[in-house]
């Protein structure tokens, strides 16, 4: 069975079932899967960027060359009329994820986000949130969260970490699959390399989006990073290294691959967990120097902070996994409630520190969310 360390570094989609035999495919259910709409009626746009960092060689590429990324942006739009509804991901990427996860073929093509493709953007300046996927995941894994933040006025940038993500499709048709080993011979060294590469990606995307080349105006004093699983560990290390970032948040990710547990952080950091506790979180708490919270959601699984619970039933995920693993990944909390909890606390955190808005929800337990336990607080 998967060890706790392995579970906390799994991708938002695709990492767990890749360790298991694939179950026989079933016919896709004849319906759509609508992700929860944002809680405000402001239209949301989305677009993709193909970026090349000519100052870095890709450490994972089989042939030496510059680091190449696909980035998806969600943003508050001025209008959405006449713009097509965005797909969840591309059909080829969806097929890779479905096979790795052992959900029914065609499941992800049924998922319908709210955002509209290339809708005209709010002129800004906008606060920026960088969003990272789990190990061997992908940029679409937290779409419901990204759309909520965009509807409330944030520019959200989700990076496909090439050769780490399950699959990345580039505009010229290339499909680049993950090269990461499920059980590397030296896990500590592998995690340090993976996190360092992700941190470089986040820094490069930040530089691009705050440059004159970007079509978006970013408020450079209001930038943060967050991520699920290993994406949360990378967000923590990015916050430690990059002075441009004001906040960081980790969605159930062990703080592997960096010195953050031993050094702590000097800026606000939010940790939302499905596991009650973890040794890297304990060490981080001992050394953290700034405002911080560790909030545990009762009934949450590792993937409860992503979109996966919304597709689990339609994709017959329960049929393909042992019961204990399914419980660890999906938990017992409903998909809609898990999304509501994650959206509400992440937005309250970002609003408090990037927009200087009151966020009493972060001061202590709330009767609105009895499943959320304050395990640790500072500041």
CATH of the domain at 10: 3.40.50.1820
* Number of structural domains found in the chain: 1
Task: Inform me whether the pLDDT recorded for 23 exceeds 50.
Answer: no
Convert the pLDDT of each residue in 327-363 to its tens digit.
999 999 999 999 999 999 999 999 999 999 999 999 9
**Per-residue confidence band for 92, with pLDDT thresholds at 50, 70 and 90:** very high
The CB-based long-range contact list for 347-353 (8 Å cut-off, 24+ gap) reads: 347/148, 347/149, 347/152, 349/247, 349/249, 349/268, 349/270, 349/293, 350/127, 350/129, 350/149, 350/154, 350/224, 350/247, 350/249, 351/152, 352/268, 353/224, 353/246, 353/247, 353/268, 353/291
Q: Mean pLDDT, to the nearest integer, of 106-128? A: 96
The DSSP bridge pattern shows strands 247-251 and 372-378 to be unpaired
Task: Inform me whether the pLDDT recorded for 5 exceeds 70.
Answer: no
**Per-residue confidence band for 24, with pLDDT thresholds at 50, 70 and 90:** very low
Helix axes 230-241, 187-209, angle to 10 degrees: 60
Convert the pLDDT of each residue in 233-259 to its tens digit.
999 999 999 999 999 999 999 999 999
Residue 142 to residue 74: CA distance in whole angstroms: 11
Work out the end-to-end distance of the chain between its first and last CA atoms, rounded to an integer number of angstroms. Answer: 39
The predicted structure's pLDDT at residue 100: 82
Convert the pLDDT of each residue in 250-301 to its tens digit.
999 999 999 999 999 999 999 999 998 999 999 999 999 999 999 999 999 9
The predicted structure's pLDDT at residue 115: 98
The predicted structure's pLDDT at residue 7: 55
Residue 107 to residue 312: CA distance in whole angstroms: 9
Q: Mean pLDDT, to the nearest integer, of 209-226? A: 97
The predicted structure's pLDDT at residue 9: 54
Give the bridge partners for 228, in sequence order: 251
Convert the pLDDT of each residue in 35-60 to its tens digit.
999 999 999 999 999 999 999 999 99
Across the chain, mean pLDDT equals 93
Q: What percent of the chain lies above the pLDDT cut of 70? A: 92
Task: Inform me whether the pLDDT recorded for 30 exceeds 60.
Answer: no
The predicted structure's pLDDT at residue 21: 35
Distances from the Cα of 153 to the Cα of 25, 124, 148, 228, angstroms:
41, 9, 9, 21
Exposed, middle or buried: residue 345 (CB in 10 Å: 0-12, 13-18, 19+)?
A: buried
The predicted structure's pLDDT at residue 99: 86
The predicted structure's pLDDT at residue 250: 98
Instruction: Find the domain containing 53 and state its range.
Output: 4-378
The predicted structure's pLDDT at residue 80: 92
The predicted structure's pLDDT at residue 219: 98
The predicted structure's pLDDT at residue 35: 98
Reported pTM: 0.94
Q: What percent of the chain lies above the pLDDT cut of 90? A: 89
Task: Inform me whether the pLDDT recorded for 6 exceeds 80.
Answer: no
């Amino acid at each position: 069975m998967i060890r706790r360390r392995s579970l906390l570094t799994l991708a938002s989609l695709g990492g767990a079932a890749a360790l298991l035999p694939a179950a026989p495919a079933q016919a896709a259910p004849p319906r759509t899967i609508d992700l929860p709409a944002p809680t405000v009626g402001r239209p949301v746009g989305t677009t993709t960027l193909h970026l090349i960092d000519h100052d870095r060689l890709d450490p994972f590429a089989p042939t030496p060359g510059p680091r190449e990324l696909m980035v998806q942006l969600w943003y508050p739009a001025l209008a959405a009329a006449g713009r097509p509804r965005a797909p969840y991901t591309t059909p080829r990427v969806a097929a890779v994820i479905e096979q790795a996860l052992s959900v029914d073929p065609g499941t992800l093509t049924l998922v319908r986000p709210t955002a509209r493709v290339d809708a005209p953007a709010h002129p800004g300046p906008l606060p920026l949130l960088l969003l990272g996927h789990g190990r061997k995941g992908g940029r679409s894994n937290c779409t419901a969260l990204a759309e909520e933040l965009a509807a409330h006025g944030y520019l959200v940038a989700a990076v496909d970490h090439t050769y780490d993500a399950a699959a990345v499709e580039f505009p010229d048709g290339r499909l680049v699959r993950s090269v990461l080993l499920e059980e590397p011979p030296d896990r500590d060294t592998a995690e340090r390399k993976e996190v360092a590469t992700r941190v470089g990606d986040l820094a490069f995307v930040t530089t691009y989006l705050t440059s004159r080349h970007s079509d978006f105006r970013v408020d450079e004093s209001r930038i943060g990073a967050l991520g699920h699983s290993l994406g949360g560990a990378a967000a923590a290390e990015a916050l430690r290294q990059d002075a441009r970032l004001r906040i960081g948040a980790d969605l159930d990710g062990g703080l592997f691959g960096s010195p953050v547990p031993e050094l702590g952080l000097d800026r606000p950091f939010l940790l939302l967990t499905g596991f009650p506790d973890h040794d890297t979180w304990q060490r981080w708490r001992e050394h953290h120097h700034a405002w911080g919270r560790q909030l545990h959601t009762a009934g949450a699984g590792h993937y409860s902070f992503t979109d996966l619970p919304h597709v689990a039933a339609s994709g017959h995920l329960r049929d393909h996994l042992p019961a204990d693993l399914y419980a660890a990944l999906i938990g017992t909390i409903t998909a809609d409630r898990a999304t509501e909890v994650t959206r509400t606390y992440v937005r309250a955190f970002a609003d408090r520190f990037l927009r200087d808005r009151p966020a009493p929800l972060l001061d202590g337990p709330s009767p609105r969310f009895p499943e959320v336990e304050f395990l640790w607080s500072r500041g």
